Structure 1
Amino acid sequence: MLDVCLLGTGGMMPLPGRHLTALLLRHQGHSILVDCGEGTQVAIRKYAWSMHSIDCICFTHVHGDHVAGISGLLSSMGTEGRTEPVHIIGPAQIEPVISHLCIVVAVPFDVIFHTVDEGTFDFFGVTITPFPVNHNITCYGYRFDIDRLPVFLPDRAKALGIPVQEWSKLQKGESVRVGLKKFTPDQVRGPSRRGISLVYSTDTRPCRSLEDAAYDVDLLVTEGIYGDPDKAQSAKEKKHMTAQEAALLAKNAGARESWLTHYSPSFRNQRDYVRDIAAINPTVRFARDGDRKTILFDDQEEE
């Protein structure tokens, strides 16, 4: 399963009651933070999530409302006793930007930088796939996938004469040898099963790369910077996406559920546009600071 917490829904500047957009994901006791604007660590504390478990931080781009909170966050993680490395993924400019932001703080652990052109990343069972989007500077969205192995079929393993002590290897995806015969995992597995997927992308115009990445995802978190149709031209000029455009993109992508975020400081009347958005795509809603969700595998149930 994947636990999700939207730490803030604001864009450009924090407001009373609205933190800057950042997302925290948790899987098997490890966490991934996506973007870290000013005050992100305050939001983490406010919603009672842990900074100590953050092993990876993904940055979409280097505008201040997405990166300015990193120095305080890393410093606080060190103060709380962290010694393990933290991995940071982002565009090519991310290392010099963060290095300069952290010049006045003490960070007592290693920070390992990765650029998005390295391809996909795998951290504690979560596959992270960056993809380019259409903003006024280099910017990326991220897709997060948790794969699920097919069901192991013990009756089939017995019929093939595979000793029980070898089953665990097959369940992990390893091949085994019994005498002169080699057995592969696909010989003792059922059909493939759907995993868990999430896409996060802000600061972009509607674009094919985002729509493709969001295909059939469990949750799409993306921006709806304005609700007022009269501001659509402003969104185009600033390379952002309106709530209506985001709802249509989510519909075209077939996302199972979508949260809108990264609101302009002037956009405070989301309730006025709920019906408009529902008419375009009923699976889309205006998110609020602190929204949480646990995404389960299809055949799992909440305990």
Structure 2
Amino acid sequence: MNLEAFILGSGGMMPLPNRHLTSVLLRREGELFLFDGGEGTQVSLKRLNLRWKKISVIFVSHTHADHVTGIPGLLMLSSQVDRDDPLYIIGPPRIAEYIETSRRVLDMYINYEIVVKEITEPGIVYQGDGFHVRAFNLRHTKPCLGYVLEEDRRPGIFHPEKADALGVPRGPLWSRLQSGETVTAADGREVRPEDVLGETRSGRKFSFVTDSLAFPEIADEVHGSDFFVCEGMFERALEESAREKKHMTAEQAAYLAKAAEVKKMALIHYSPRYTDYDLKQLLKEAQNIFPGTILTRDRMVYPIEYID
């Protein structure tokens, strides 16, 4: 089952010619999940030839303009195609007000159901087939949420020699065992999945954190992530400014990644003060702490693989 992250926008505060505002799209076996929708989101969706009608849920971190101004256009765009399934929008308090006001003032034509859910307590906010999405509180100038999409554990590796030894004939019964179902062997004995499968294996974990002070509990929330997207808005020299604005530096993000033992961290939400060349300084400072750091770039695609 494929799991891919598409960086639709990597900038913070204001869009630049080659850097749209923060937005990440996750594609899991054809189903799409959008995390924030800054200005320029539609442009990257179009350039990447992604099917926006397949977006199931939009997860919003907070209601600052650089994270939501791309959403109204996306809602109107989705009315240009047939859509049977509802679109869920999940975010902090006042996201419902923002969506409703945008629809009313812009006189939007919407031909599908929009379901808005405001999160007031951390925890699981969405569940799908084989995965769930959990929200947790960040520390910004207004209510702000981080998100983790985590897959369920997978069955262990199937050992055909064990199935043969237990008298289970090759064919549909093997598939049923691999799906977690108990079957009956040729001699009438019941054979359980655990009789022929190895230890269960982990699924994949994606985490999204932006616009927050760095604090230790973030590492607990994103621990073990295969792909951790985290803001790295400023260099170390601007740490005081970052603290005043309730943001974090690339170096602080790296300390979180190290403590959380993530597989890969991707910096995002850069201050517009940094040119593409200047971003090398952010990367250097982060990699000194956590070597598995990369810079996100608009329209970058990152496959998230099973560790085994």
Q: Quick check: TM above 0.5?
A: yes
Partners of 1:93 and 1:158 lie apart in 2 by: 59
Partners of 1:134 and 1:177 lie apart in 2 by: 55
CA deviation profile, 1:211-246 (whole Å, cap 9, x unmatched): 11222211110001112x332111111111111111
Specify whether residues 171 and 203 from structure 1 end up closer, same or farther in structure 2 by C-alpha distance, changes over 3 A only. same
**Preserved CA contact (<8 Å) 1:32 1:56:** yes
Partners of 1:76 and 1:221 lie apart in 2 by: 27
Note the 1:1-303 alignment, pairs <5 A.
Answer: 1-103=2-104, 104-116=107-119, 117=121, 119-147=124-152, 148-161=154-167, 165-175=172-182, 184-227=192-235, 229-268=236-275, 269-299=278-308
**Preserved CA contact (<8 Å) 1:177 1:183:** yes
Please state how far the C-alpha of 1:99 moved relative to its aligned partner. Answer: 1.7
Give the aligned length. Answer: 298
Specify whether residues 174 and 140 from structure 1 end up closer, same or farther in structure 2 by C-alpha distance, changes over 3 A only. farther
TM-score (norm 2): 0.87
Specify whether residues 174 and 102 from structure 1 end up closer, same or farther in structure 2 by C-alpha distance, changes over 3 A only. farther
The residue type equivalent to 2:66 in the other structure is: D
TM-score (norm 1): 0.89
Question: Which residues of structure 1 form unaligned runs of 5+?
Answer: none
SS at match of 2:79: helix
SS at match of 1:52: helix
CA deviation profile, 1:62-117 (whole Å, cap 9, x unmatched): 21211122111011112022232112222233222212222221111111233444
Specify whether residues 112 and 159 from structure 1 end up closer, same or farther in structure 2 by C-alpha distance, changes over 3 A only. farther
Partners of 1:71 and 1:119 lie apart in 2 by: 26
What percentage of aligned pairs have identical amino acids? 36
Please state how far the C-alpha of 1:162 moved relative to its aligned partner. Answer: 5.3
SS at match of 2:150: strand
Specify whether residues 211 and 52 from structure 1 end up closer, same or farther in structure 2 by C-alpha distance, changes over 3 A only. same
> Pairwise CA RMSD of aligned residues?
2.3
The residue type equivalent to 1:129 in the other structure is: R
- 160-169 vs 264-273, which deviates more? 160-169
**Preserved CA contact (<8 Å) 1:30 1:124:** no
Please state how far the C-alpha of 1:258 moved relative to its aligned partner. Answer: 0.8
Partners of 1:115 and 1:175 lie apart in 2 by: 41
